[in-house]
Amino acid sequence: MRFIRKVMIGLAAFAALPLAAQGPVPTPTVKKVDAAVPVAKSAAAPVALDAKDVEAWLDGYLPYALERARIPGAVVVVVRGDQVVLQKGYGFSDVAKRAPVLPETTLFRPGSVSKLVTWTAVMQQVEAGKIDLDKDINAYLDFKIPPYQGKPVTMRNIMTHTAGFEESIRHLISSDPKAVMALKKQMPLALPERVFAPGTTPAYSNYATALAGYIVERVSGQDFDDYVDNRIFKPLGMAHSTFRQPLPANLAPHMSKGYPDITQKPKPFEIVVPAPAGSLSASGADMGKFMIAHLGDGAGLMKPETAKQMHDFKAPGVGPLNSMALGFYEQWVNGHRAIAHGGDTVWFHSYLWLFPDADIGVYISMNSAGTQGDAGAIRSALFHKFADRYLPGADKPGQVDAKTAREHAQMMAGNYISSRGSFTNFASLFGLLGQMTISLTEDGKITLPALDGMGAGARDWVEVEPFVWRDTGTGERLAAVVKDGRVVRWSVDAGSPFMVFEPAPAGVNAAWLNPALIFAFGIILLAALAWPVRALVRRSFKADFALEGKARRAYRLSRIFAWLAIAALAGWIGMIAAFSADIGSLGGPLDWLIHLLRVLTPLAAFGLLATAAWHLWLSIQDKRRWTMKLGAILLILAALILVWVTLAFHLYGFDMVY
């Protein structure tokens, strides 16, 4: 599920403004690229796509990549037209048993690639006249989704990830089979806040996809699992595929284990709670059949005109970057348009690409992220290197002059928040920890360190059009929307269909807030530790405590609240650690801690502020030493920072929708 990845998080009003609408920004000149500047890939003669060559090429690439990343196993399928070119397993589905990956029968969890099945089901119902893509979806529901800015959500919004929902992680994924929940119960229970007007801002939503599955369930009169079995899997002969959780008895023996990496023990079968968004288990061969059906204009699933409506739609986006089709997202490479979808559970990492112009489909799934999360780089490199070999093309971008390029790069530098994130609940804290930073290299180019691990090589961003950059290694683009001389949003090709980044508001900008938090807790820790240390020193020297009466109470209370603040910090760190180790822990097991922290945090923050202020007032009244007054002032500043974070990131309350 394209969630997690540190996920996690984050990517507000849609601005489909042409890049020319940049207000007072000086108009740059664009010139042809000097041959010495490596900003374009040369076209090479394509290699014939046949089983022998594809297998040799994959055998030269994938085994070493998996071994280097310590990923136990993978399956790869390549199809052309209505034929399978190659389907092959690599490594192990069960390391302890040395069980190989069998492409015909071994089940992998393709995560959010599952959404393509759900979108296919939606389009079948569109074709049947039971769903209107542009109608208020409340017409299909037994509960109400309130309008946002007077506008309802439509199925087209949902299929293009522009419904405006914030991230929802509570009912997402778990290792507990009891987490399985009927859509009828889950959809009203897990309804997240809407934070963007519909149709304006790409913001990936697992909840919205599950909602689409629930609508299919309601308009078809069939349970969602039964529907996809009867209307998609059976017609295509996908006998080793299911959305059911836990797995049916006949398929359970074929399930690959999921691993942190090959050196560690396998993990339990994952329960994807919003099932239509990612609960599919399928063999590589079955995914090949699904690709063939879509390459064949929906053969066996829908009419050609329905498939074309799904595949050819292009939602508005950021400048020239990739955007959403209906359910699929664009991925352009070497002048070829792929329609695609990626998917990540905690342990499985997958991608599916279709090249309609070449009638080619490629699918990969791996049963581990690898030691450094290398699964993302492996599949990205597979996409680009496959295209370079079998679908080559020449890029002919221009290049912005050096002076303007430096000016634009400087405009881009800063911290950004993702439209895919939480904004109205305590989970917004993850957004603070995961803000995207654009900085500058020594030669004045933009650099995004957070993206470096998602590609096979180093990134080199060269501005080829005004506010459009191209990575010289992959050809992927980054583009920004600029208004009145300010960057208002940007994205990159790999994520632009479903996620954009906007400047972090000053009040929640990690550039100053993270150092301020370190300062605050440093002061609070010193104040808390000084209390017992001074007591021990006084006892050792048989000295009296200088403060008495109200002054003593104020001092002691401020130190008690300092310790409470430290306890709250430790609790949040513990919760984040537990979440990082097992995302399912947020779905119930840690409810007690979440409730406790959202009571303790505001109590500690406001209590510390009040008692530190009281302590300072009494110190001034009693004309205490300047050092005591300075200490109280610093403690007040620390408390103010803590209060601000508590309020800005909603670290309070009792609502459990997050």
What amino acid occupies position 127?
A: E
**What mean pLDDT comes out for the span 82-90?**
98
Does residue 137 surpass a pLDDT of 60? yes
Compute the average pLDDT of residues 501-524: 96
Q: What is the pLDDT of residue 535?
A: 86
Q: Among all chains, which residue has been given the structure tokens 């003593």?
A: 552
Confidence of residue 2 (pLDDT cuts 50, 70, 90): very low
Residue in 363, 370, 382, 378 with CA at minimum distance from that of residue 88: 363
Of 358 and 434, the one with more pLDDT: 358
CB 66 within 8 A of CB 74: yes
- pLDDT tens digits, 460-512: 999 999 999 999 888 899 999 999 999 999 999 999 999 999 999 999 999 99
Domain ranges in the chain are 397-507, 508-648
Beta strands in 106-175 (DSSP E): 107-108, 173-174
Please state the pTM of the whole predicted model. Answer: 0.90
The stretches of 77-223 forming alpha helices (DSSP H) are 115-127, 155-159, 183-189, 206-220
- Band (26; pLDDT cuts 50, 70, 90): very low
Asked whether residue 20 carries a pLDDT value surpassing 60, the answer given is no
Q: How confident is the model at residue 583 (pLDDT cuts 50, 70, 90)?
A: confident
Assess whether pLDDT exceeds 50 at residue 254. yes
Is residue 113's pLDDT more than 70?
yes
Average pLDDT in the 406-417 region? 96
The average pLDDT across 234-254 equals 98
Residue 6 has pLDDT above 60, yes or no: no
How much is the pLDDT for 110? 98
The answer to whether residues 17 and 389 touch, using CB atoms and an 8 Å cutoff, is no
Q: What share of the chain is helix, strand, coil (3-state, %, to 5)?
A: 40, 20, 40
